[in-house]
Structure 1
Amino acid sequence: MKKKRTPETQLQYELGTCSKQNDLKKAISLYNSALSQNLRLSHHHFNSILHLCSSPESLSSPNKSFALENGFRVFEHMQSNKIPPTEATITQVARLAAAKNDPDYAFELIKCARDKGVSPRLRTYGPALLKYCENLRIEEAYGVEEHMKGNGVKLEEGELSALLRVSAEVGREEKVYEYLSKLRGVVRGVSEETAGVVEKWFQGAKAAEVGVEAWDVGKVREVRERCGGGWHGMGWLGKGPWEVKRVKIGYNGVCCGCGERLVCVDIDCGETERFAQSIAGLAMEREIKSDFKSFMEWIDSHSGYEAIVDGANIGLYQQNFSEGGFSIAQLEAVVMELYTRNKRWPLVVLHKKRLRAFQENPSSQKLLEEWLSQGILYATPSGSNDDWYWLYAAVKMKCLLVTNDEMRDHIFELLGSSFFLQWKERHQVHYTFGKGVPNLKMPPTYSILIQESENGSWHIPIASENTDELSRSWLCITRPSSFSNSSNSGESMHITSKNCSNGGHHSSGNGVASLTGKRKERDPSPSRLD
C-alpha cells in the first residue's frame, strides 16, 4: 500500500510537473493556494517556483512581467520566512535581476552569498557579468571577474567572449589582448560568435592604431619558447591595418593565407605526470586495486614503448556483420605497420577474454605466445575495464595511442576537458583500413590553439565537429607592413617541453613520435594464457 502524501509533498510533486511542462501560471496558482492553506514551505518549493520564473521561456514576452513580479514576490516570502537560500536560489534571482536590467542587485546577491554559506558558481555570476557587458559597464564587468577569481571560479568561452566584445567596443586594447590570451587556455577552437567578435576588433580603426613599430624579434622568440610555444604575451606588435582572412592550415602546419608555419606546443611534463596520477587514482577506485597497481609497476619497468594500441578497438573495427568477430588480422596489421615505421614494437593492451580469439587456430596461438614473450601484449585481468589500462600507459609513457575511441564516455569526463583534449590532440592516432591495409592518421604537426607569432600575426582556430583537421577553418590575422620583421615564415618550429623523465619527445621523419635515449630490452609480459 502506497504511503499517503502530505500536502507539502503533494505540492512538491505538482510543482515538479509544472516544471516539466513549463507551466508558470499553474505553479503560481499552486503557490497561492499553498499560502491560503498555511502550508509549511521549504526551500525546495521556493526553488521550484523560482526556477520556472527565471527560465528563458518565462522571461520572454509576453510572460516577462508576470514572471518578474511573482519571482521577486516568492523570493521576498522566502526571506521573510528566514529560509536560507541555496546556490540555485541566488542564481535564479540573479537571472530575474538581470532580466529586469538590474545587474547591481544580481552582483550584490553574489557578494552576500558567502555570508549565507553559499559558494557561487559560474552560472551564478553569469547574469550580472553578461548584463554589465551588454550595458557597456566595463569596470563593473571587470569587478565581477575579479570577484570570480577570488572565489576560484573560472571563466569559460561565453563569458570571455562577452568581456572580449565589450573591451573591443570601448577600445581597451590591453584587455582585448588579455582575453585573447585567456581564451587560448580555455578552448581549442573558438565558436562562430567569438570568431565574429575577433574579426570585428581586428578590422576596426582602434586595432590598427595599437602596437609597437620596432621590437627585438630574438627576444620575442626567446620568450615565446619559454612560454611553451605559440604565444609570447608581450603585447601588440606592429602598426597599421590588419588583414583578416578565413583560411585552412596544411598538414605540414603552413597557413594557406600567409605562408607562416604554426608551431607544435608540447605538453608540460609536470602536468602530464599529474594527469597520469589522476587516471591512476580514478582507476584504482573502480578496478581491483592490486591488479591496477601491478600494471603500474609493470609500466614503470617497461618504459620504452613509443605507441600503445587499443587492441579491442582495432580488432572489432567494422566487424558488425553476420560473420564478423574479433579480427586478429587487423590487429596484427596495425602492430606490423607501427614496427615498420619505427623499428620498435608497440604495446597492445587487450582484455583477457579476447585471448580466446588467438587460441582458435595454431598460427594465432603462436602469434599470441610471441607477443606475450616479447612484451608486445598486456592482457588485462578478468572483470577489468581495459580503457583505464591503455589510457594510463599512453599518458605515463608520453607516447602515441592508437585508437578510434573518442573517449567521450563518462569515465573520461571525470578527467576534465581542457588538458585531456590537448593531450588527445598531441597523442591520439586514428586509423582506417583499405583492403586489409591500415592507414594510420598521425597527430597534426602543429597545435590546435590560438597562436601568436613573433611578427605579431595571429592564427585562431574555429571550432568544428569534423575530426579531419585539414578541413578546419582558421582566422589568419596579419599586418602586411610588419610581416617581414619575422624570420619564422615558412620555417618549421617545434617547441619541446623541458626534459621529461623518459627523455621527452622529438618528431621523427615518419610521423611517429620518437623517444630519445636508448631503450632497454623488455622482460616478457606478466600476462598468462590461463
Structure 2
Amino acid sequence: MQEPVQRPENPKTNGKSKKAKNGTKEQQLTHTLITCTKSGDVSGALAVLSDALSAGIRPSANNFNSLLHLLSSQASLDPALVDSAFNLFDQMLSYNISPSESTITSMARIACHKSDGGDLSFDLVKSMNDKFGIKPRLRTYTPCLSFFCERLQAEKAYEVEKHMDTMGISPEESEISKLLEVSSKTGNGDKVYRYMHMLRCHVSTVGSATSEVIEGWFTSEKAREVCCVNWEEESVREVILKNGGGYFGQGWLGTGEWEVKRAKIGIDGVCEGCGEKLRGVDLGEAERQGFMEKVASFAIERETKANFSNFQKWMETHSDYEAIIDAANVGLYQQNFADGGFSLSQQLDAVVREVKKRCNDKWPLVVLHNRRMVALSENPSNRELLESWKSVGALYTTPSGSNDDWYWMYATIRQKGLLVTNDEMRDHIFELLGNSSFFPTWKERHQVKYTFSKGRSVLVMPPTYSSVIQESEKGSWHVPIGDKCEDERERTWLCISRCASTKATHRTNAVEGTDDDEINREQNGTSLVGKRKRS
C-alpha cells in the first residue's frame, strides 16, 4: 500500500496560526486583541488585557491603542466602560508609554460619553501639545466641538474653534456647518455671518445637510432682525471688486424677512430665482499680490537669479498684455506621432492670431524657451515670423536652463490677464502652489484652453460665473449645493434674498447704470474684449 504523501505546511496559513499559538505571551496578547478588535468584542478585549496585566505582561503602545480605539468606536458606552478607558490611559502613562495623536483622539471621543465630556475632551486636546509634544489634527477636535454644538453651548464651541486656529488647523464643511448651526439656533447673527464666509473660503459647494442649516437660519425669526438699513451700493460694489468679486464680507445688508428658493443658474450666470447675475470670482488684490510674490520667490530660488530678475525688469516696461500664451504647450499640441514636431505656423501662429483678434488687435505675450527659438529659427520662414513677433514686443524667450512655466505664470498674475494653455498644472512646480486655497480659484478664472477645428484655433474661455458661495452688493446670497456637476446648469442653488416688500432703500451713485457685465470685466481684467482695471 502506497504511503500518503506528506504535504508541506502552507506558510501563509499554518505557520501564522502556529506563531500565534506558540509565540511569546506578548505576541499572543497582541494576536488576541487584534481578533477582539476586528469582531468588536469590547468585553473580551478588556478581559484579555486585564489578565495580561495580572500576569505581569507589559502591554505595548499598540495594545493600548487598539483597545482604546475599539472603545472609542462604540456608538454608546456605559459609565463603567468610560472609567475603564481612563484607567487604561493612566496605566499606559504609568509605563512611560507616550500617547500618539490617535491615542488622544480616541480618548477625546470616549470622554464625550460622560455628562461633562465636552470639557474633559477639550482639556485632553489642549494639553496634548504642551504635555506630550503632539500636534492635534482636525479629527482630534471634532468630538468636543460636536458635543458643545449639539448641546447649544455656543461659547464653548467658539473656544474650540479659536484653539484650532491657534494650532493652524483649518475646519472643513462638517465643522463649519456645526458652528453655523449652533450660532443660528442661539440667534447670534454676527457669528452666522462669519461662518457663512468661512464656508465660502473653505468649501466650493455645500452638501444637503449644510444647505438645510443655512436655510434654517434665513427662515428664522432672528434672521429678520440682522440688517443694515442705509448703504451706498456703489461703495459696497467697490469693496466687492477689491475682494475679487463675489462677496462683500463686512456685514448683513438689507432689512426684514428673507426669501429662500431653490433655483438653477443659466449659462449666462443669471439666477432663475431672483434674476441676479452671478460673478466670476477671482483673487482679491492682496491675495493676487501675495500669489505673485510667491511665484517670483520660488522661481528665483530654482532659477539663475539674474535670469528671472531680468524678466521682472522687462515686464515693468512691457506691461500692456491681456493674454499670455504658453508657446510650448500650443506648439506641441497633439504632435506625438512619427513626423510630429513643434508646430509654429499651423498651431502657435493660429492661436496668436485668434487671441489678437479677440483683444481688439492687441498683441498677446508669447513665452518661448530659447532652445526652441534657436531650433525653429533654422527655418527662414519660422525665423521671419518669430522676429516679427519680437519686433512688436509679443515674444519673450526664456534663457537656457530656465523653466518657462514660472515665466508665463508670473506674467499672467502680474497682468491680471488670461493664460492660453492646456496644461493642467499638476506637476511638481504647481504642487508648490496647489496647497494654497487661491490657486484653484486663480486657475479657473484665468486659464483659456484651446483646440483646433478645420485648421482654425478654437478658444475655450473661463466660465461666465463661479460655482461658489456668493454675496451680492444687494445683500443677497447664492449657495451652490452638491458635488461637481458635469453640466453646471443642472446644479441646484439656494437663492436667498430679502422679500421685495421688506427691502431697505439704499443709495446708488452716478454710476447707477453700471451692470454686472461691467463688474465682471473690471474686477480682474480677464475679458479678452472688455477693459481691464489695475490698481
Q: Is 1:439 matched with 2:443?
A: no
Q: Secondary structure at the match of 2:367?
A: strand
Q: Is 1:338 matched with 2:367?
A: no
Structure 1 residue 395: Cα displacement = 1.5
Residues 412-451 of structure 1 aligned to structure 2 (within 5 Å): 412-415=430-433, 416-446=435-465, 448-451=467-470
Shift of the 40–233 alpha-carbon distance from structure 1 to 2, 3 Å rule, reads same
Between the aligned partners of 2:82 and 2:404, the Cα distance in structure 1 is: 52
Q: Secondary structure at the match of 2:257?
A: coil
Partner of 1:525: none
Which of the numbers 333, 339, 350 marks the counterpart of 1:317? 333
Partner of 1:109: 124
CA contact (8 A) 1:267 1:497 kept: no
Partner of 2:212: 196
Between the aligned partners of 1:122 and 1:454, the Cα distance in structure 2 is: 34
Which of the numbers 509, 515, 518 marks the counterpart of 1:491? 515
Residues 246-261 of structure 1 aligned to structure 2 (within 5 Å): 246-251=263-268, 253-261=269-277
Structure 1 residue 84: Cα displacement = 4.4
Shift of the 446–128 alpha-carbon distance from structure 1 to 2, 3 Å rule, reads same
Between the aligned partners of 1:344 and 1:477, the Cα distance in structure 2 is: 41
For structure 2, the residue ranges without an aligned partner over 5 or more in a row are 1-22
1:371-413 deviations in Å (ceiling 9; x for gaps): 3454433344455443222212212333221223333445324
Between the aligned partners of 1:398 and 1:96, the Cα distance in structure 2 is: 51
Residues 129-528 of structure 1 aligned to structure 2 (within 5 Å): 129-202=145-218, 204-206=219-221, 209-212=224-227, 215-218=229-232, 221-223=234-236, 225-226=238-239, 228=242, 230-231=247-248, 233-235=250-252, 237-240=254-257, 242-251=259-268, 253-263=269-279, 267-320=283-336, 324-328=340-344, 329-342=346-359, 343-355=361-373, 358=376, 361-415=379-433, 416-446=435-465, 448-462=467-481, 464-466=483-485, 472-478=491-497, 479-482=499-502, 485=505, 491-492=515-516, 494=518, 506=525, 510-511=528-529, 514=532
Partner of 1:79: 93
Q: Secondary structure at the match of 1:481?
A: helix
Structure 1 residue 336: Cα displacement = 1.0
CA contact (8 A) 2:328 2:368 kept: yes
Residues 19-58 of structure 1 aligned to structure 2 (within 5 Å): 45-46=61-62, 50=65, 53-54=68-69
Shift of the 40–457 alpha-carbon distance from structure 1 to 2, 3 Å rule, reads closer
TM-score of the two chains, using structure 1 as the length reference: 0.75
CA contact (8 A) 1:450 1:459 kept: yes
Structure 1 residue 353: Cα displacement = 4.9
Q: Which moved more, 1:106-115 or 1:190-199?
A: 190-199
Between the aligned partners of 1:383 and 1:280, the Cα distance in structure 2 is: 16
Letter in 2 for 1:239: G
Shift of the 299–170 alpha-carbon distance from structure 1 to 2, 3 Å rule, reads same
For structure 1, the residue ranges without an aligned partner over 5 or more in a row are 1-6, 499-503, 518-530
Between the aligned partners of 1:226 and 1:494, the Cα distance in structure 2 is: 15
Q: Which moved more, 1:30-39 or 1:449-458?
A: 30-39
Shift of the 63–170 alpha-carbon distance from structure 1 to 2, 3 Å rule, reads closer
TM-score of the two chains, using structure 2 as the length reference: 0.75
Partner of 1:520: none
Structure 1 residue 484: Cα displacement = 8.5
Structure 1 residue 419: Cα displacement = 1.9
Q: Secondary structure at the match of 1:345?
A: coil
Between the aligned partners of 2:295 and 2:78, the Cα distance in structure 1 is: 47
Between the aligned partners of 1:411 and 1:51, the Cα distance in structure 2 is: 40
1:411-436 deviations in Å (ceiling 9; x for gaps): 32432332223322332223333223
Structure 1 residue 127: Cα displacement = 2.5
Shift of the 198–286 alpha-carbon distance from structure 1 to 2, 3 Å rule, reads same
User: Which protein has the larger Cα radius of gyration, Structure 1 or Structure 2?
Assistant: 2
Q: Which moved more, 1:187-196 or 1:330-339?
A: 187-196
Shift of the 61–255 alpha-carbon distance from structure 1 to 2, 3 Å rule, reads closer
CA contact (8 A) 2:478 2:496 kept: yes
Q: Secondary structure at the match of 1:145?
A: helix
Structure 1 residue 145: Cα displacement = 1.7
Q: Which moved more, 1:428-437 or 1:464-473?
A: 464-473
CA contact (8 A) 1:188 1:450 kept: yes
Shift of the 455–373 alpha-carbon distance from structure 1 to 2, 3 Å rule, reads closer
CA contact (8 A) 2:177 2:210 kept: yes
Identity of aligned residues (%): 44
Between the aligned partners of 2:66 and 2:408, the Cα distance in structure 1 is: 43
CA contact (8 A) 1:22 1:52 kept: no
Shift of the 348–66 alpha-carbon distance from structure 1 to 2, 3 Å rule, reads farther
Q: Secondary structure at the match of 1:432?
A: strand
Letter in 2 for 1:305: Y
Shift of the 54–325 alpha-carbon distance from structure 1 to 2, 3 Å rule, reads farther
